[in-house]
Amino acid sequence: MKISKLYTTDLHDAGSEVEVLDDQGAKTGLFITVVGVDSTVFRAQAKKQQRAYIESLRGKKDFDDEAFATDSLVAATIGWRGTDEKFTKKLCKELYTQAPYIKDQIDLFNTYKGTCPGIFAIFDEDSANLLINRHNLQKCLPLIDIEEISSVDMNIFHNYKYGAHPVSPNVILPQHENDLLIFHGFKTPEFEEALNKEYLQTVLFQDDFLVKFKDNKFWWVKNSFLVDKNIQPIVRFEVLYKNQVIYTLSNQPIWDYWAFYIEDFEVSSGYYDMRIVEEESNRIIYKNTIKI
């Protein structure tokens, strides 16, 4: 391979074009050409922005990063087609200012063109849907929409049939519930207070019980008096291996004893989930994982 094949400056100087979508996600027929982030223009603009930011700090002046971002994108835009109006920097800046959703499209394109698709590692489902619709992202990973449920049963999800279960159809899911990462948006202080009263008092934290496997016994040992907990008095203790319940200790009064165990069996090496479930409601109130 020749080293010159790794060069990007000339390619980015030439620019690439992208078709603009309207605010409803429909194609407009307007194609805008922008130089790349490795281009001479873009790099010079980045240095200019950096100097201006440093000067604003020294002079204790406000730095309008939004205006500078717009100016940088205008500088990186070198033409368009699909309209009778001739391209000028003035008209380009007017377009980006009066139609910020177009500026966002161009900015995203210029930043990520030629890259492999990314993944929302953490997302709020509403924000994800807004992004998909706003930028007309036709090709993306399937989204899972888990409604308000207290138990994540991976068997239900993997055997999903379009109907009553609270999960979107045609999704590809991890094999284990511990592999799910669900984020439902930033919450207000009022929500946090309600969460503490209505939810956190009805479940057990991982440090409320110490769990271990010792002398061929699975142990759940209290590490708290649970005085602030509003849970049902009769529970069952479950051990799961590869997402399947393999041992159960049922109808146990959680308030009456300090330690609980399941004994007299041998196990294979691997990860085991140890749960506590309310008998009457069948609600999982505690789960931890140990490695044997």
**What are the residue ranges spanned by the domains of the chain?**
3-112, 116-186, 204-291
Task: Look at residue 83 in the predicted model and tell me its pLDDT.
Answer: 94
8 A C-beta contact, residue 208 and residue 286: yes
What amino acid occupies position 48?
K
- Provide the pLDDT for residue 15: 84
Tokens 């308030």 identify what position?
Answer: 255
Provide the pLDDT for residue 64.
Answer: 74
Q: What is the pTM of this model?
A: 0.42
49: nearest Cα among 32, 33, 73:
73
CA distances from 218 to 100, 151, 184, 288 (A): 59, 22, 34, 12
pLDDT at 89: 93
State residue 167's pLDDT score.
43
Tokens 């060069």, residue? 7
* Furthest CA-CA distance within the chain: 83
Q: Which positions ≥6 away from 120 have C-beta within 8 Å? A: 128, 141
Give me the CATH topology for the region 204-291.
Immunoglobulin-like (2.60.40)
CA 32 from centroid of its chain's CA atoms: 31
- What pLDDT is attached to residue 44? 86
Gap between the Cα atoms of 276 and 22, Å rounded: 52
**What is the C-alpha separation between 16 and 76, in angstroms, rounded?**
11
Q: What pLDDT tens digit does each residue of the chain (292 aa) get?
A: 788 777 778 888 888 888 888 887 788 999 999 988 788 888 888 888 778 777 777 777 776 778 888 888 999 899 999 999 999 999 999 999 999 889 888 887 877 665 544 444 434 555 556 665 665 555 444 454 544 444 445 454 444 443 344 444 444 445 555 555 544 555 567 767 777 777 788 889 888 999 999 888 999 999 989 888 999 999 999 999 888 899 999 999 999 999 999 986 778 888 899 999 999 999 999 999 998 8
